[in-house]
């Protein structure tokens, strides 16, 4: 699932921040943005270039602010991703595109769909979270103790959270595999099956190492953004949307996807049995095919 033929570039955001971008697949294909998880980076798991060529997809990944090669945007919200995606699309001369967000990237993908109705043609969310203030949802039910501790500390003790994440990020920078091992201790059996693969472990370790290379603040800002007001209305998402979730996910419980499905007008939900959070890595080629067939319009490169 690596891609040695990816193209790297840096895009200047409208506020002059640097955004690190990686593009793979067919340069003339249908553009699809892939928004990474938390912590994560542009080098996260994705289909090989040969697979993307066969699908006819140009896959665009970027580091959210504070991760990898992207400058921090300290006060960002989930909706702040919209301007960054717009700026990348402008730099690449893309008019319309699809978007998929994995885990913590899911809400950011929905923000783009809501705020860019004439540009985002279809969207998918893989194992994504619901808003922290979601009514009629027990937000923490079924979630790992570690995730409950991280998310709940956001509002309770900000300084404690910063120090905890800083220490964890320092440890991961020294030994990226340590996060993989820590996650394995919390995984259900379907996730263990995925992550027991040595190649997947290496990809995840590389992703975490790059994400936290500049420090812990991309991760800290993600936690704050996800637990704060997202800055957009889910009811404004009218494109075709696929919500994919593993039934045995204990990092982001499936109840989050079911809640989102009730709030997004054109959402289709798929809950897969005998799979969990990291099943989102394996299912991505299938999701990319869905995005292409469900897009409201054709390829995103402008004509004329």
- Residue 298 in tokens: 């054709």
In angstroms, rounded to a whole number, what is the distance separating the alpha carbons of residues 216 and 5?
A: 29
pLDDT on residue 1: 54
Q: What is the pLDDT of residue 53?
A: 95
CB 10 within 8 A of CB 75: no
Whole-number pLDDT of residue 230: 98
pLDDT value for 296: 63
Residue pair 25/55 in contact (Cβ under 8 Å)? The answer is: yes
What does the pLDDT read at residue 25?
Answer: 96
Question: What pLDDT was estimated at residue 172?
Answer: 92
Q: What's CA 267's distance to the chain center, in Å?
A: 18
Residue 6 DSSP class = P
Distances (CA, A) of 185 to 44, 121, 150, 160: 21, 39, 16, 23
pLDDT of the chain, 304 residues: tens digit per residue: 545 578 999 999 999 999 999 999 999 999 999 999 999 999 999 999 999 999 999 999 999 999 999 999 999 999 999 999 999 999 999 999 999 999 999 999 999 999 999 999 999 999 999 999 999 999 999 999 999 988 988 877 878 888 989 999 999 999 999 999 999 999 999 999 999 999 999 999 999 999 999 999 999 999 999 999 999 999 999 999 999 999 999 999 999 999 999 999 999 999 999 999 999 999 999 999 999 999 864 334 332 2
Residue among 116, 109, 97, 123 at smallest CA distance from 297: 97
Q: Give helix then strand counts, H and E, for the chain.
A: 11, 8
Q: What pLDDT score was predicted for residue 283?
A: 97
Tokens 């340590």 map to which residue? 178
7-294: which CATH architecture?
Answer: 3-Layer(aba) Sandwich (3.40)
């Amino acid at each position: 699932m690596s891609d040695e033929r990816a193209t790297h570039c840096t895009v200047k955001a409208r506020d002059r921040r640097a955004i690190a971008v990686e593009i793979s697949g067919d340069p003339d294909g249908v553009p699809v943005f892939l928004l990474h998880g938390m912590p994560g980076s542009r080098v996260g798991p994705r289909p090989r270039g040969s697979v993307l060529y066969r699908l006819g997809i140009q896959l665009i990944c970027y580091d959210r602010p504070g991760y990898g090669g992207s400058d921090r945007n300290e006060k960002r919200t989930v909706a702040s991703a919209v301007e960054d995606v717009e700026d990348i699309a402008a730099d690449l001369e893309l008019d319309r595109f699809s978007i998929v967000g994995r885990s913590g990237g899911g809400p950011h993908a929905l923000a783009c769909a809501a705020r860019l109705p004439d540009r985002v043609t279809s969207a998918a969310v893989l194992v994504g979270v619901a808003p922290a203030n979601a009514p009629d949802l027990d937000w923490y039910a079924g979630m790992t103790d570690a995730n409950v501790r991280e998310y709940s500390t956001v509002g309770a003790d900000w300084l404690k959270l910063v120090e905890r994440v800083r220490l964890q990020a320092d440890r991961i920078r020294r030994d990226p595999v340590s996060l993989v091992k820590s996650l394995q201790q919390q995984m259900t059996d379907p996730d263990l099956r995925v992550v027991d693969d040595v190649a997947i472990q290496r990809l995840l370790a590389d992703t975490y190492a790059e994400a936290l290379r500049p420090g812990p603040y991309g991760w800290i800002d993600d936690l704050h953004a996800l637990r704060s007001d997202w800055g957009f209305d889910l009811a404004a998402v009218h494109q075709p949307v696929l919500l994919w979730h593993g039934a045995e996910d204990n990092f982001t419980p499936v109840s989050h996807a079911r809640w989102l499905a009730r709030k997004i007008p054109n959402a289709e939900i798929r809950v897969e049995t005998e799979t969990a959070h990291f099943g989102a890595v394996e299912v991505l080629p299938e999701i990319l095919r869905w995005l292409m067939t469900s897009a409201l319009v054709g390829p995103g490169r402008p004509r004329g």
